[in-house]
Structures are given as structure tokens and as C-alpha cells.
Amino acid sequence: MPFELPSLSYAYDALEPNIDARTMEIHHSKHHNGYTTNLNNAIADTPLINKSIEEILSGLDMENKAVRNNGGGFYNHRLFWKIMSPNGGGIPSGALAEAIDNKFGSFEEFKTTFSKAAATQFGSGWAWLCVKKDGSVDVCATANQDNPLMQDIGCEGVPILGIDVWEHAYYLNYQNKRPDYINAFFNVIDWSTVNELYLKGA
């Protein structure tokens, strides 16, 4: 099988109380595992099998719903686990901090913009911080398992930070209080990893 469910670099309970262990376990071992299996099934015996996930998503036939949903799900969750850490929180530094200040004026303004994008994404989806080719950053949101790598999605650049706002990401602990979950997410963002992704993508 070309794609494998990535293991987490921390335990399911490591992000508590911000994200509870049960949610993490179901989210990773059931949801992400499902996207991974379904992606592998969808690309089996097709030319996509030899491509990276980035190549698959950026060259995607958007009518191919199986690859769109499961390829997006595979990629989005892989990024999501990576940019969280039990030692997360705080604020970014270095080149990323500068890019955020250039775009939003301050970290607080960025946080407000990102949180609003996440809170107002109707139904299931993701909010993103992306880096563009010129090194600038921007915030946007996409529905379902779409992401900014897909063409003409109304969201441009390479995602370096993403929050899953599907109910499965927060409902057990936060029920309908999505803004509380978004606020808690900021306590576990691993800004050093996001900065690495920024430097790689810029």
C-alpha cells in the first residue's frame, strides 16, 4: 500500500485538556485510518499510485470524489498531527513571525482572523494558514476535506497550519462550542514545526 497512517509523535492523552484522549484516539485510529485505506483503494490500479500525495492533490480531477475526499483527508490529518505538540502554544518567532506581522499587523490580529475563519466555516471543513511563493502568508478556509493544494479552491498556497473543524474533531469534549475548541487549539500549536514548514514552502 502506497500510503500509511502516520504514527503520532505523542500519546493520545498528551494534548489534554485541550484535546481529550478519546477524541484523539478515534480521530487518528478510525477517521484518519479510514481516509488512508480509502485513498489506497481509490488509487489502486490507476496512474496515481506512483505519485506523492502533494502531486495527487495539486493535479486532481475534482470530479474524482473518492480521491478528493480521501486524499484530502489523508493529507490534512497528517499535517494536523504534525503541527500540534504537548509543548505547543505561545507565539511564532523568526521568519514566520515576520510574515504574520507583515500580513496581519500582529499575532493577535492573525489569531482573530484565523479563529474567525475556523468558526465561520459552515459545516465540516478546515481553516488554514498558507505560505505563497513570494513568502507571504494568508488565512482561508475550505469545506469537507478540500485543501489549498487543490486547484481553484479559493484558497492559495501551501498549508503550514490547519485546524480540523469537523464535529468529530471536538464534539465529545466541546459539543457545539466550536470557538472554545479553536481557542484551546492555540495552546497546542507547535510553532517551531510551523516555522519549519514556512521556511520549506516559502
Q: Which residues bind Mn ion (CB under 5 A)?
A: 164, 166
Residue of minimal CB distance from Mn ion? 164
Give the nearer residue to Mn ion in terms of CB position, either 142 or 195.
142
Shortest Å distance, C-beta 25 to Mn ion: 13
Calculate the alpha carbon distances from 84 to 6, 8, 29, 38, 141 in Å. 14, 10, 17, 25, 19
Shortest Å distance, C-beta 83 to Mn ion: 14
Which is it for the CA torsion 169, 172, 177, 180, positive or negative? Answer: negative
Give the nearer residue to Mn ion in terms of CB position, either 92 or 148.
148
Which stretches within 8-138 are classed as H helix? Answer: 21-26, 33-43, 53-58, 65-82, 94-104, 107-120
Give the nearer residue to Mn ion in terms of CB position, either 27 or 67.
27
The CA distance from 160 to 43, in Å, is 25
Give the nearer residue to Mn ion in terms of CB position, either 121 or 195.
121
Shortest Å distance, C-beta 106 to Mn ion: 30
User: 161 pairs with which residues across the strands?
Assistant: 129
User: 159 pairs with which residues across the strands?
Assistant: 130
Shortest Å distance, C-beta 172 to Mn ion: 13
Shortest Å distance, C-beta 87 to Mn ion: 22
Give the nearer residue to Mn ion in terms of CB position, either 75 or 104.
75
Q: At residue 137, what is the residue type?
A: V
